[in-house]
Amino acid sequence: MSDDINKDPKKLSAVEGMKTSSRGLRADLAEQMADPITGNVTETGKQLIKFHGSYVQDDRDRRAEREEKKLEWAYSFMIRLRIPAGDITADQWIGLQESCDKNANGVMKITTRQTIQYHGVVKARMKPTMKDFDVLGLDAIAACGDVNRNVISGSNPAIAPFHAEVHKYATVISEELLPKTGAFKEIWLDGEKLAADQPGEPDPLYQDRYLPRKFKIAVAIPPHNDVDVYVHDIGLIAIGAGDNFEGFNVSIGGGLGATHGNPKTYPRLGNVIGFVPKDKAVETCWQIAAVQRDYGNREDRAQARLKYTLDRLGVDFFKGELEKRLGFTFAPARPVSFTHRGDPYGWFSDHTGQWYNTVFVDCGRVKDEGGYNIKSALMEIAQKQLCAFRCTANQNVMLTYIEEKNKAAIDEILAKHGITQGHYTKTKEEAIACVALPTCPLALAEAQRYLPAFVAKVEDLQRKHGLIEEAITTRITGCPNGCGRP
């Protein structure tokens, strides 16, 4: 099956031209970032810097004040790290918090994609921040943009004996689908520069076009669906027999985003197209992205996600093209059942006897507030090297790989900083919001700032009706893109 999409170069969106002429995501981004006259970048710069893990933002609460004074808006940058499956060492946590205090607004944001965002980074602090990440063995490459973004994975190790094996796939897939350009090191880390008249490096997956739009992958282990696996471009659902991990059911074409006022855009659940053995999973993800690269709509960005490609060409066509490239056919999907998606708060252990403790982070914001001093508590735990850390898809932090002898010390630190079980209601602990106003340029409404007041109203109703011990899941998103996973 074929259609006329992408056949006429004149019909391609402006962003397509920006990508293909960028010399591997370079263009003049380095020069723009060195310009001290403005805190902003050009439209091309705004598009390309996404691939480097950043968005241009401004304080929308201050726009009128700035305009009245004939000043440009209060521009800053949001930086999103690439942290597959959300795993961070104690030393990395310390370094990230110190860098955030020095270069951003001091509040690390745990996102629904199991990573960390910095907000309020002014242009002059962008390069030092990226260098801080590099020292810690981290980066922001492809955390945004028309590429595969941060790969997320079910965070609860007690779900299955093979959790650790499955969990590693997030990192392997992330590395395999990472853009091959050296632009990131060149621009942010003072790497060797490519001559202005040279093309960028050839990329076997992304070529010079990259993908038509963003691309998201999640890994889930039934019966726990904390990652909302069916709303991703690729959802990998782990299948095992007893203690043995066998492979994945593969879902394609999910996505929550829509465009306000455009009825041709809509949220969509993924289609499960079959089962693949575990040794074929990474190749399958690569080829799904490649088929979307070749068939996705590059004329209309509102129709460019994989979900629209499937609805335009048909799931059967896409699956057939995929199987042709893979050289094998999918086996029938295995039966699965998901029963819950929240985080397991408090202490629990896995099948090896190692301990874990999930602590609630209100709206994912790592800050000390109202006697709940989560920022100080996590920093002290990290400084004493008592455990590692895992960002969850529910915007919380799981303390991981804890030895029995360290449990009491962790409890003491948490209690000292007001982090105790029952501090918040179950409804509060199940609430998620995206950042929205005042920094997100796409926000149409409040989300993160309004969530506490909204949850308080729900809690009042629960108390009135004797339901305060029940958990009501609340998701607030500030625009139709659905970053709050409503």
Active-site residues, by number, are 80, 149, 214, 216, 434, 440, 479, 483
Q: Name the residue with tokens 């020095």.
A: 102
Cα–Cα distance, 16 to 85 (Å, whole number)? 30
For 183, the 3-state DSSP assignment is helix
Cα–Cα distance, 79 to 94 (Å, whole number)? 17
Cα–Cα distance, 274 to 330 (Å, whole number)? 5
Helix (H) or strand (E) run with residue 319 in it: helix 315-326
Nearest to 86 by CA among 389, 363, 391, 388: 391
303 φ/ψ angles, rounded to the nearest 5 degrees: -115, 20
DSSP conformation class of 61: G
Cis peptide before 438 (omega within 30 of 0): yes
In sequence order, the 6+-apart residues with CB closer than 8 A to the CB of 382 are 90, 91, 93, 94, 97, 389
Pairing of strands 431-433, 368-369: unpaired
Cα–Cα distance, 126 to 422 (Å, whole number)? 39
- The angle, 0 to 180 degrees and rounded to 10, between the axes of the packed helices 315-326 and 306-313 is 110
Strand order in the sheet with 365-366: 54-58, 75-80, 116-121, 108-110, 365-366
